[in-house]
Amino acid sequence: MYINNNITSYCTISKNVIYKNEVPVFEDRGADVPSFLLSAYQFLEVTYPKFYKMDNLSKLGWLAAEVLLRGTDIKSYAPEQVGLILTNANASLDSDLKYMESVNDIPSPALFVYTLPNIVTGEICIRNNFKGEDAFFIFEKFDAAFIETYVNNLLNNGILEACICGWVDVLGDDYKAVLFLVEKEEKANSVQFSKKNLNNIFDNLIIDKI
């Protein structure tokens, strides 16, 4: 049985600009990665002290999820109905390098805890009380075909009712996050959950428009 699922919201954070459903909602050009992430957090006008202790990967994914979920009906789902399937190329290497610097001095537990890629998943789950299935896969490049197949499988077999999926990657000055909210029901302005649409959104076709 083939069921059409829908991308009901998407968010891209790249090159110091945040886009929500193709529309740029925030930019801070010229800032370095930590400053940009902090100014983006301030722009959202939320109070979430845990944000300050996160590593860059978690901050990036957390911010993308905040923007992605605003104005959606995500709260209408039970905690175990919502899950996350995230992917990237560099796992937690950005934080691994920082932790390694601390090892020869005093190894830092606050840095070590971020030396796993799926900590960003945990941070998003804590923020939103998501308790469904999560998974983190490592790919050289964004693999829309895999995301489409895997997430359709989770939704169509009743494992999840809504899935946040996509790409969150940081290494040094390079970063990119593209998250998609995928739901069974069609919503206003939703687009079909397909490899083609995932790739179009991921490839920043939107950036060319501004």
Partner 1 sequence: MPAVYIVADNIYSPIGTTTTQNFERVKQGISGIKKHNDPALSDESVHVSLFNYNESEDNKEFINSKFERLLVSSIKDVLAIADIDATDEKTILIVSSAKGNISLLETDPAAPDLKDRIALHTSAKKVAVHFGFVNQPLVVSNACISGIMAILTGARLLQSGQYENAVVVGADVISRFVLSGFQSFQAISSEPCKPFDENRTGITLGEGAATMILSTNAKYAGKIKVLGGAVSNDANHISAPSRTGKELSDAIERTLSMAGLVPDDIDLISAHGTATSYNDEMEAKAIALAGLSIVPTNSLKGYYGHTLGAAGLIESIISIQSLKQNVILPTLGFEKIGVSSPVNVCTALTPKRLKTCLKTASGFGGCNAAVVFSK
Q: What is the 3-state secondary structure (H, E, C) of 150-181?
A: HHHHHHHCCCCCEEEEEEEEEECCEEEEEEEE
**153 binds partner 1, rule: CB under 8 A:** yes
Q: Which of 43, 48, 77, 146 binds partner 1 (CB under 8 A)?
A: 146
Residue 166 touching partner 1 (CB under 8 A): no
Q: Is residue 81 involved in binding partner 1 (CB under 8 A)?
A: no
| Cα 141 from Cα 203, distance rounded (Å) | 11
Among 14, 39, 118, 204, binds partner 1 (CB under 8 A): 118
Residue type for position 106: I
CA distance 61 to 63: 5
Contact residue for partner 1 among 60, 115, 177, 180 (CB under 8 A): 115
**Least gap, CB of 208 to partner 1 (angstroms):** 28
- The residue count for binding partner 1 (CB under 8 A) is 49
Q: Of 4-12, 24-32, 61-69, 109-117, which part binds partner 1 (CB under 8 A)?
A: 109-117
Buried b / exposed e across 147-169, counting CB within 10 Å, b at 16+?
bbebbbebbeeeebbbbbbbbbb
| C-alpha to C-alpha distance for 117 and 186, rounded to whole angstroms | 31
As a whole number of Å, the end-to-end CA separation of the chain is 40
Chosen residue from 116, 184, 194, 197 binding partner 1 by CB under 8 A? 116
Rule CB under 8 A: is residue 131 a binding residue for partner 1?
Answer: yes
Q: Pick from 109, 173, 188, 208: which binds partner 1 (CB under 8 A)?
A: 109
Choices 39-47, 110-118, 179-187, 198-206 (CB under 8 A): range interacting with partner 1: 110-118
Tell which phi-psi region holds residue 91, choosing left (phi > 0), alpha (psi between -120 and 50) or beta.
left
Cα dist from 11 to 16, 52, 107, 167, whole Å:
13, 21, 35, 11
Q: Which residues bind partner 1 (CB under 8 A)?
A: 79-80, 83-84, 89-91, 93, 96-97, 99-100, 103, 106-109, 112-113, 115-119, 121-123, 125-126, 128-140, 143, 146, 149-150, 153, 159, 171
